[in-house]
């Protein structure tokens, strides 16, 4: 018996195939007009934009390209005017059937379903993988319509390898109307806009070309103003009671356009790179700018030094499945100056991970996150800037610290959900993670924890470490952590991909794991600092003891002569006071305290240099030395 859901999927597939064939035939200038419909009323709100910032919309388009096995994405924003934005990728592209499925099934992705093999968006053997073998990021089916955050009018130009036609789809979205939804039945389809589809036959030489281009027309005015940092420039132009700007202007920016209506004067760009820099050098300049501190500045460096446009580039680079600006944290090696610790099971304390010189923590522990891309590479070029993950872990301390060296705690875990409880738990959960400590983490925007699911992240760093309740504010500001989820947690991701369902079993398990790892790391840091303090105090005591004895021997030499043998041998550690000085024996009926032994020894030398001890009885000699120490102690306590 075929289930209702299977029947619905079969009907959807058939409709997409039929529409795809119709698109193939529309190569003589015919245009197919269709409504954008969905049976889920909540998905209708997608067309009004569900993402908080423009970079999040770029993130979803790049994620779509990644899932399509693209190796390169090029984004051209037309900065600083932002009249039109173009996003091109060299991914698999869409044939007419796939495009038909996309526009007819908002919120019903073919990825991670049996339809993925039919429409070439997933492997037949494993729907969780792209045709090329990448773990798929998308699954809901709204990524393409992330552009609704930016505009209501856009074009999709796409072609799959081997196809004789290139397909064009022009989409005009409708504004969400709550009153219309109230008038419709719960299961009724909602028209979210209109799409016009046409196709053109390509010459034989372009038959093997492939990829997708998204052209965004008529950006929303508020989006243009945001990317142009209009509100920021207006705020910094206003002066407070002291005559200072209410908002400090960003040091690095794309400039400010003249706007008489908003009383903004034109300002030339001050970018953190030079015009002749390579795309990678430009990104490196951006990361340096975000991490640099002004001389004498009390505040830690942050993205506040960048305008909204540059911040968007930084945030986008943080979210995507890209290479790191230097190297993956798991590729740090022994001999690098970092103390590596494991995340123990049970009540065991963390132990050092012993790495040979040149051996990576990845190879030592068999970690898989961040391995070479199975397709070969994934690069994003944003207005001539080659993006990388903006995280670079230093091998040296940023500031002096008692801990003595950077510390990285590394671990992997798999939730022990019983087989019978996997349904309630949301499936299997596997992840790898690191927690890195340094005396200063900059910019402050990478302080905290970041969760990556299938190498991508929709969130920024959580500086509360998933609601960690222990008050360790100073230590927590010195820690950055990344959690790489290899399997699971998908069900906990909310529709905007920028937050989690905090009650989901997978989220709760990761939260508890992270909190335990934090406690272990902080306790180890305190122990290392305490040990360093103990060593410093011991060294101080030894120096003090040596100074006391040196002074006493100088007096002895001055009184008895340079060649006179000292009564006691010089030493920096004393267990007990010798029982005689020259011919004067000392009977200790009350031994000095251990910390007073060096002082007692020095006093014995000085007193005998003047011949004082020889004039006293043995028991009185000890009493005299103890009494002098007692008087010195009493004076010192005042």
Kindly report, residue by residue over 384-437, the tens digit of the pLDDT: 999 999 999 999 999 999 999 999 999 999 988 877 677 777 789 999 999 999
pLDDT value, residue 176:
60
pLDDT value, residue 572:
41
213 φ/ψ angles, rounded to the nearest 5 degrees = -125, 130
CA distances from 489 to 136, 461, 531, 635 (A): 13, 17, 40, 66
Mean residue pLDDT of the chain comes to 84
Reading the block at residue 39, the tokens are: 């049976």
% of the chain with per-residue pLDDT over 90: 47
179 φ/ψ angles, rounded to the nearest 5 degrees = -65, -35
More confident residue, 519 or 262: 519
Q: Report the candidate in 43, 46, 55, 126 with the shortest Cα–Cα distance to residue 87.
A: 55
Q: Are residues 235 and 242 in contact, defined by beta-carbon separation less than 8 angstroms?
A: no
> Please, what is the end-to-end C-alpha distance for the chain in angstroms?
94
* Contact residues for 280 (Cβ-Cβ < 8 A; gap 6+): 386, 388
pLDDT value, residue 297:
55
pLDDT value, residue 579:
46
**Strand 580-581, strand 430-437: pairing:** unpaired
Query: Average pLDDT, stretch 311-328?
Result: 96
Largest CA distance in the chain: 126
% of the chain with per-residue pLDDT over 70: 84
pLDDT of 638 > 60? The answer is no
d(C-alpha 615, C-alpha 478), whole Å: 63
pLDDT of 143 > 90? The answer is no
What band does 50 get if pLDDT is binned at 50, 70 and 90? Answer: low
User: What residues does 409 pair with on adjacent strands?
Assistant: 341, 435
d(C-alpha 250, C-alpha 269), whole Å: 11
CA distances from 539 to 542, 570, 573 (A): 5, 17, 11
pLDDT of 266 > 70? The answer is yes
Kindly report, residue by residue over 460-514, the tens digit of the pLDDT: 999 999 999 887 778 999 999 999 999 999 888 877 677 888 999 999 999 999 9
Of 49-53, 234-238, 269-273, 394-398, minimum mean pLDDT range: 49-53
Q: Are residues 96 and 119 in contact, defined by beta-carbon separation less than 8 angstroms?
A: no
Kindly report, residue by residue over 347-386, the tens digit of the pLDDT: 889 999 999 999 999 999 999 999 988 998 999 999 999 9
For residue 321, what is the DSSP state?
S
Query: Average pLDDT, stretch 139-161?
Result: 81
Task: Decide: pTM greater than 0.75.
Answer: yes
d(C-alpha 519, C-alpha 531), whole Å: 18
Query: Average pLDDT, stretch 534-550?
Result: 84
Q: Report the candidate in 628, 573, 543 with the shortest Cα–Cα distance to residue 551.
A: 543
User: What residues does 172 pair with on adjacent strands?
Assistant: 153, 194
pLDDT value, residue 387:
98
Reading the block at residue 164, the tokens are: 């004789």
Quote the radius of gyration of the chain (alpha carbons, Å): 35
Reading the block at residue 625, the tokens are: 């030395």
Query: Average pLDDT, stretch 22-30?
Result: 77
More confident residue, 420 or 608: 608
pLDDT value, residue 578:
47
pLDDT of 39 > 50? The answer is no
Give burial (CB, 10 Å; 0-12/13-18/19+) of 377: exposed
Please name each of the domains of the chain with its CATH number: 4-220 (3.30.565), 271-532 (no CATH), 567-636 (no CATH)
CA distances from 325 to 62, 194, 334, 574 (A): 18, 42, 20, 54
d(C-alpha 57, C-alpha 437), whole Å: 32
pLDDT of 545 > 90? The answer is no
- Other CB atoms within 10 A of residue 616 CB: 15
More confident residue, 104 or 322: 322
d(C-alpha 437, C-alpha 338), whole Å: 10
């Amino acid at each position: 018996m075929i289930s209702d859901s299977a029947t619905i999927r079969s009907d959807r597939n058939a409709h997409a195939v039929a529409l795809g064939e119709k698109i193939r035939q529309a190569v003589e200038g015919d245009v197919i007009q269709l409504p954008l419909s969905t049976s889920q009323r909540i998905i209708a709100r997608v067309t009004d934009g569900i993402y908080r910032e423009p970079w999040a919309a770029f993130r979803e388009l790049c994620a779509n390209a990644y899932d399509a096995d693209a190796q390169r994405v090029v984004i051209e924003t037309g900065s600083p005017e932002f009249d039109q934005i173009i996003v091109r990728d060299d991914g698999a592209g869409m044939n007419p059937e796939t495009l038909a499925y996309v526009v007819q099934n908002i919120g019903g992705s073919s990825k991670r379903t049996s339809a993925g093999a039919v429409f070439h968006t997933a492997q037949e053997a494993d729907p969780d993988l792209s045709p090329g073998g990448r773990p798929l990021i998308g699954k809901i089916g709204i990524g393409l319509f992330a552009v609704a955050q930016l505009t209501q009018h856009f074009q999709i130009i796409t072609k799959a390898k081997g196809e004789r036609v290139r397909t064009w789809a022009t989409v005009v979205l409708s504004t969400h109307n709550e009153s219309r939804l109230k008038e419709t039945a719960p299961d009724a389809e909602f028209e979210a806009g209109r799409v016009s589809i046409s196709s053109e036959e390509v010459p034989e030489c372009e038959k093997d070309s492939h990829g997708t281009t998204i052209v965004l027309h008529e950006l929303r005015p508020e989006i243009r103003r945001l990317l142009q940092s209009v509100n920021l420039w207006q705020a910094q132009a206003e002066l407070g009671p002291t005559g200072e700007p209410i908002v400090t202007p960003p040091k690095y920016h794309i400039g400010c356009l003249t706007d008489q209506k908003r009383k903004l004067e034109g300002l030339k760009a001050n970018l953190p790179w030079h015009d002749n820099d390579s795309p990678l050098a430009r990104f490196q300049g951006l990361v340096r700018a975000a991490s640099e501190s002004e001389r004498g500045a009390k505040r830690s460096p942050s993205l506040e030094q960048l305008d909204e446009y540059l911040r968007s580039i930084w945030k986008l680079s943080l979210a995507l499945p890209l290479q790191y600006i230097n190297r993956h944290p798991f590729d740090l090696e022994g001999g690098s100056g970092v103390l590596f610790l494991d995340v123990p099971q049970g009540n065991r304390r963390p132990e050092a991970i012993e790495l040979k010189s040149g051996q990576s923590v990845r190879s030592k522990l068999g970690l898989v996150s961040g391995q070479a891309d199975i397709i070969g590479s994934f690069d994003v070029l944003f207005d001539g800037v080659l993006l990388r993950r903006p995280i670079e872990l230093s091998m040296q301390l940023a500031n002096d610290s008692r801990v003595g060296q950077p510390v990285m705690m590394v671990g992997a875990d798999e939730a022990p959900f019983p087989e019978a409880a996997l349904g309630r738990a949301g499936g299997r959960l596997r992840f790898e993670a690191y927690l890195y400590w340094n005396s200063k983490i900059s910019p402050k925007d990478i302080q905290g924890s970041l969760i990556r699911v299938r190498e991508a992240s929709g969130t920024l760093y959580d500086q509360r470490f998933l609601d960690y309740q222990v008050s360790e504010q100073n230590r927590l500001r010195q820690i950055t952590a990344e959690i790489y989820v290899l399997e699971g947690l998908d069900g906990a991701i909310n529709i905007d991909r920028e937050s989690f369902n905090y009650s989901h079993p997978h989220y709760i398990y990761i939260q508890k794991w992270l909190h335990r790892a934090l406690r272990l790391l902080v306790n180890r840091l305190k122990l290392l600092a305490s040990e360093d303090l103990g060593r410093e105090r011991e060294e101080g005591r030894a120096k003090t003891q040596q100074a006391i004895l040196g002074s006493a021997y100088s007096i002895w030499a001055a009184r008895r002569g340079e060649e006179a043998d000292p009564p006691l041998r010089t030493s920096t550690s004393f267990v007990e006071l010798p029982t005689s000085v020259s011919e004067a024996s000392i009977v200790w009926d009350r031994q000095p305290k251990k910390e007073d032994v060096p002082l007692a020894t020095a006093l014995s030398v000085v007193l005998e240099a003047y011949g004082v001890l020889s004039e006293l009885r043995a028991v009185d000699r000890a009493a005299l030395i103890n009494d002098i120490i007692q008087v010195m102690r009493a004076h010192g306590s005042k």
